[in-house]
Amino acid sequence: MSDIKTIAVLTSGGDAPGMNAAIRAVVRTAVAGGMNVKGVMRGYTGLLGGEFIDLSRRSVSDIARLGGTIIYTARCPEFMTQEGPAKAARILKDAGIDGLIVIGGDGSFRGAQALAANGANVIGIPGTIDLDIGCTDYTIGFDTAVNTAVSAIDNIKDTSMSHERCSIIEVMGRNAGYIALWCEIANGADGILIPEKDEFDEQDLIDNILSNRKKGKTHHIIINAEGIGNSTRLAKRIENATGIETRATVLGHIQRGGTPSAKDRVYAATMGAYAVDLLAGGARNRIIAYKDGKFTDFPIDEALKMKKTIDEYQFMISRLIAMY
Ligand code: ADP
Ligand code: F6P
Pocket residue to mutate for ligand 2, from 19, 42, 75, 129, most atoms within 8 A of Cβ = 129
Note the pTM of the prediction, 2 decimals. Answer: 0.97
State whether the beta carbon of 105 lies less than 6 angstroms from ligand 2. Answer: yes
The predicted pLDDT at position 229 comes to 85
pLDDT digits (tens, 9 = 90+) for 113-163: 999 999 999 999 999 999 999 999 999 999 999 999 999 999 999 999 999
- Mean pLDDT, to the nearest integer, of 73-84? 98
> Is 130 considered catalytic here?
yes
130 CA: nearest ligand 1 atom: 3
In the chain, the amino acid numbered 175 is: N
CA-nearest residue, atom 13 of ligand 2: 14
pLDDT digits (tens, 9 = 90+) for 5-29: 999 999 999 999 999 999 999 999 9
pLDDT band, residue 3 (cuts 50/70/90)? confident
Write the CB contacts of 158 (distance below 8 Å, at least 6 apart in sequence).
Answer: none
Distance from C-alpha of 144 to C-alpha of 67, rounded to nearest angstrom: 10
CA-nearest residue, atom 1 of ligand 2: 14
CA-nearest residue, atom 14 of ligand 2: 14
> CA triplet 220, 225, 230: central angle to 5 degrees?
85
In the chain, the amino acid numbered 154 is: D
Distance from C-alpha of 138 to C-alpha of 263, rounded to nearest angstrom: 10
What DSSP assignment string belongs to 46-101? HHHTT-EEEE-TGGGTT-TT-SS-TT-----GGGGSSHHHHHHHHHHHHTT--EEE
Distance from C-alpha of 139 to C-alpha of 123, rounded to nearest angstrom: 15
Within 6 Å (CB) of ligand 1, which residues are found? 12-14, 44, 75-76, 79-80, 104-108, 110-111, 114, 128
Active-site entry in 15, 130, 132, 190? 130
In the chain, the amino acid numbered 148 is: T
- Mean pLDDT, to the nearest integer, of 183-210? 92
- Mean pLDDT, to the nearest integer, of 50-78? 98
Centre of ligand 1 to C-alpha 280, Å, is: 26
The answer to whether residue 1 scores a pLDDT higher than 70 is: no
pLDDT band, residue 2 (cuts 50/70/90)? low
The answer to whether residue 220 scores a pLDDT higher than 70 is: yes
Q: Rounded to the nearest 5°, which phi and psi values hold at 50? A: 65, 35
Centre of ligand 2 to C-alpha 191, Å, is: 23
Of 137-141, 197-201, 252-256, minimum mean pLDDT range: 197-201
State whether the beta carbon of 101 lies less than 6 angstroms from ligand 2. Answer: no
The predicted pLDDT at position 198 comes to 75
CA-nearest residue, atom 8 of ligand 2: 174
Closest CA to 52 of 12, 87, 8: 8
Per the CB < 8 A criterion, the answer to whether 183 and 170 are in contact is no
- Mean pLDDT, to the nearest integer, of 161-186? 97
